[in-house]
Homo-oligomer: A and B are copies of this chain.
Amino acid sequence: MASLVDVALRAGVSVATASRTLNRSTHPVSAATRRRVEDAARELGYRPSSLAQALVTRMNRVIGVIVGDIVDPYFAEVVRAVEDSARGAGYLTIVCNADRNPAQESAHLGMLRNYQAAGVIFAGSGFAGDDGGDELAQLVAQATEQGMHVISLARRDLPVPLVGYDNHAVGRDLTVHLISSGYRRIAFVGGLTGLYGSMLRREGYERAMAEAGLESSATDDVGMDHEAGHAATVGMLVAGQRPDAIIGVNDEAAIGALMALERAGIEVPREVAVASIGDTPPARFFELTTVRLPLYETAAMAAGTIVAGTGASALASETLLAHRLIERATTARAGNARRRARRARGELAASD
């Protein structure tokens, strides 16, 4: 591998000049020298060592993103957003699966710190009072002191700015919408006790129900996946409870509910409506009424401040971006039935 000295040698200049030429440095370089150096670099197939650059400049153009599981479309979206922003600025994106385990997160943060990553983004919400949370918080504080920009996309017990959205309002808005659409026996399925995001969504739901004088019915702490929504729904059906609408804590739980309903021969939305939170790609194809979360936007914003070098300091302790309700076929409303029929005839794209 040709190094800078090789280039300098071949061009007949000093390494300093070679360096100045090859970076778009402000330092002046004569046109003739510039050419010679650039030619030499090309001929030698010179590749600058990002390692050496990072070592000497004490800043590594790398962003770490710590997710629960990249296979979860929620996190995949976040990583995509981060990588898009990173790539645009010449940064690389390191992805870490922590499976919501603070010890794993600590381990990852440690490695990222060893690499002097420019920033680290925590994508998932943690468990309240989880084991290892204190150690993590301490590590984060150290990393921050050291100059690393660390940002969280979800509410956590961490001394870092948050770029996210209001989970409580999300749950509440969706519930209020269903109520105003005429639903009364609204159930909430899926969730994990202690997981901030999950808890807040449910609390928002309960708040809206209480304000409307309706009784809440949440099957909590069953999980965040299809299975969870499926099991919770089957449980209600077996117990003889028949809600007129079901809210899934996320798209996956709602899809689980949808499948359970379908398998039981219950028509959606005529007999039971279903709504979800997330609007990940699958939601579109299940035609789920859902709350679109500003996932991409929050992640891109977090990554943006990191590559801008302003990082956490440019951020308020909390930046909340807006969510938006999207009405689709799984809740009844004038027009839906007709829309479905037209789509089946191919007159509308599936996204309409």
Q: Which residues of A contact B (CB under 8 A)?
A: 1, 45, 47-52, 54-55, 60, 62, 69-71, 73, 76-77, 79-80, 83-84, 87, 90, 92-97, 110-116, 142, 146, 226-227, 230-231, 234-235, 237-238, 255-256, 259-260, 263-265, 281-282, 284-285, 287, 340-341, 343-346, 349-351
Contact = CB atoms under 8 A, between A and B. Distances in A.
Contacts of A112: 92
Contacts of A260: 344
B80 A111 contact: no
Contact of A71 (B73, B255, B284, B350): B73
Given A52-B55, A54-B51, A97 B111 contact: no
A49 B227 contact: no
Contacts of A282: 282
A346 B70 contact: no
Contacts of A227: 349-351
A345 B263 CA distance: 8
Contacts of A54: 51
B226 A285 contact: yes
B263 A110 contact: no
A194 B47 CA distance: 32
Contacts of A52: 55
Contact of A83 (B95, B238, B259, B265): B95
A79 B70 contact: yes
Contact of A51 (B48, B55, B345): B55
Given A77-B71, A79-B70, A114-B47, A259 B285 contact: yes
